[in-house]
Structure 1
């Protein structure tokens, strides 16, 4: 675990030299190298991807996104191994997440620290497909801000070729980009309350999804249902520290929503971020599905928190508070949640 802590200290130094692009890009390169050189057993999904690679090159049927299939064949043709799969997905994910940060964040090094403390381990070291997909999808919001809806849709659909779940980002097209009005706020709180009530009544709203005539969706739901019913996945903790933190953050955002009027990036990203705790509660009957969707929307966190700091009178104190929070999250992920194991090549 030592290497993770060393990188943490480097990123803390970057935050001290805030908005120094040389430090920022150095951090990006380090994270990229760490992702592509990791050995077997560092993360939970490495062996799974190796197995899928084996199925594909041996001509066995396996339902997975076309970009992974393409990367598997190219890697096998050029190297005779799956090594290029991890290289390509890490390159795409880290490149587009860096562009997402540069485009929207007022404190790029602080955003890099937030990204590293949570999303990097979940996405770039574990769920590499959703890592690449979410990076492209959230960068695409740049075009929605510019009223270039067609480019946004094309890029989101392209990101779904890396992970099918990214189509849910198209909900952003329904949002009012100018402000967070009272109707949206009430809707979010009603959904959250309804979600907790449904959990108490042991009613799953996900049963409706099984009637949607999309084979990939039905297959994924069937897998998640099987894993849940057979105890292969732990139940969702809908009162976890991260859930409570996100509820507090969206409450703070909603309480100060008037300050963000006409700040299109903040409005759109805050609305996406507010869907994270909602999805965790509403979809909790299928833990894998709930966690995946909730984590996807929470990627907005990378720039939402730094933007929030710019609206506070005590901006330095808020930034310090964010730094302390991210350190706690990192330590919790490493030593309590055990998202990754000790690093080795």
Structure 2
């Protein structure tokens, strides 16, 4: 499986360094990219990634009550399993299609450089979402689609897309407060978000448990108990891990050159703010790792569009391309060899 993902990474890399303006070729390449990413995710080796057996098990569960998995998963499963009498692989195919299609179409709509954005996608979120957390992957795809209506202040489209995201993963509800995020040039305050988050982390300040919502508090208590018991997937986290520090470094680089980069994308300041909130969330909510990672990764989906814009920070454009490609390569290697999202 490692070889397969490396080959796909190399193919996308070739598309980045050998671009074409011929429309028919671009359409063919887009379709090829779409199909290859869907097929690889749908027919992935279950022994090489996490969560695969969980979904296979969920396929055979008799009722919704046996799990906290979203009702949408059960609904799709029941249609495929009981209505159409299909194999459990069918649900992996459906989620692969939804996860890949939503992200690629969102990238095509709001990214300046499609294949550079796909390279960033492949280096992290494709591995994390489409190959592992496929429910979160579909939700993240709809969140990315909601960026354009969020920028355009189209509340109907924003709420529609966010609602679909929530149906596929309840954690997507955290997208709703982003409606109040501004899109102007006043972004100096973003410099302080990460340091403030780290102060919260070091001092152990836990404001999230003060939210007076009974159902929310019950879920938090459950997560905290699982964390204290050291249950896999809920263990305490080290905020100062290599991947987070890399993202922080990139964020501050982008902040330094923000005025230069902003000239090339109307979505830039919105994306920058959401990324800042994502980086703030991980240390701030680290006392409850399951929530911290979920908020951090959901909002961090904007990196697919934000990171390729780094090329505009450089006067010599080829240097910018080199930097972004290196970021993708580093993230790709970190996910495979450090985070071990794909097992050997």
> Structure 1 residues 235 and 294, CA, compared in 2 at 3 Å: closer, same or farther?
same
Q: 8 Å contact 1:100–1:135 — kept in the other structure?
A: yes
How far 1:222 moved relative to its partner? 3.4
Show the counterpart of 2:23. none
Deviations 1:181-213 (A, max 9, x none): 1xx532x4444323222332233233224x323
How far 1:163 moved relative to its partner? 0.5
Show the counterpart of 1:247. 248
> Structure 1 residues 247 and 58, CA, compared in 2 at 3 Å: closer, same or farther?
closer
TM-score, normalised to structure 1, is 0.89
**Counterpart-to-counterpart distance in 2, 1:59 and 1:156:** 23
What are the within-5 Å matches in structure 2 for residues 175-194 of structure 1? 175-177=181-183, 179-181=184-186, 184-186=187-189, 188-194=190-196
Q: 8 Å contact 2:107–2:304 — kept in the other structure?
A: yes
How far 1:80 moved relative to its partner? 4.7
Deviates more, 1:263-272 or 1:156-165: 263-272
How far 1:50 moved relative to its partner? 2.0
1:291 paired with 2:313, answer: no
Please give the secondary structure, in 1, of the residue aligned with 2:124.
Answer: helix
Q: 1:91 aligns with which of 94, 97, 111?
A: 97
How far 1:292 moved relative to its partner? 1.4
Show the counterpart of 1:115. 121
1:102 paired with 2:108, answer: yes
| Alignment length (residue pairs) | 334
1:29 paired with 2:30, answer: no
Show the counterpart of 2:18. 17
Q: 1:204 aligns with which of 203, 206, 220?
A: 206
Q: 8 Å contact 2:129–2:136 — kept in the other structure?
A: yes
Unaligned runs of 5+ in 1: none
Q: 1:70 aligns with which of 64, 72, 75?
A: 75
How far 1:280 moved relative to its partner? 0.6
**Counterpart-to-counterpart distance in 2, 1:278 and 1:169:** 15
How far 1:236 moved relative to its partner? 2.0
Deviates more, 1:127-136 or 1:261-270: 261-270
1:124 paired with 2:127, answer: no
> Structure 1 residues 257 and 9, CA, compared in 2 at 3 Å: closer, same or farther?
closer
**Counterpart-to-counterpart distance in 1, 2:195 and 2:104:** 35
**Counterpart-to-counterpart distance in 1, 2:309 and 2:120:** 13
How far 1:68 moved relative to its partner? 0.6
Deviates more, 1:282-291 or 1:138-147: 138-147
How far 1:116 moved relative to its partner? 0.5
Q: 1:323 aligns with which of 318, 322, 325?
A: 325
> Structure 1 residues 218 and 17, CA, compared in 2 at 3 Å: closer, same or farther?
farther
Q: 8 Å contact 2:193–2:276 — kept in the other structure?
A: no
How far 1:106 moved relative to its partner? 1.4
How far 1:37 moved relative to its partner? 1.0
Please give the secondary structure, in 2, of the residue aligned with 1:47.
Answer: helix
1:141 paired with 2:180, answer: no
Please give the secondary structure, in 2, of the residue aligned with 1:79.
Answer: coil
Show the counterpart of 1:225. 224
1:158 paired with 2:164, answer: yes
Deviates more, 1:126-135 or 1:236-245: 236-245
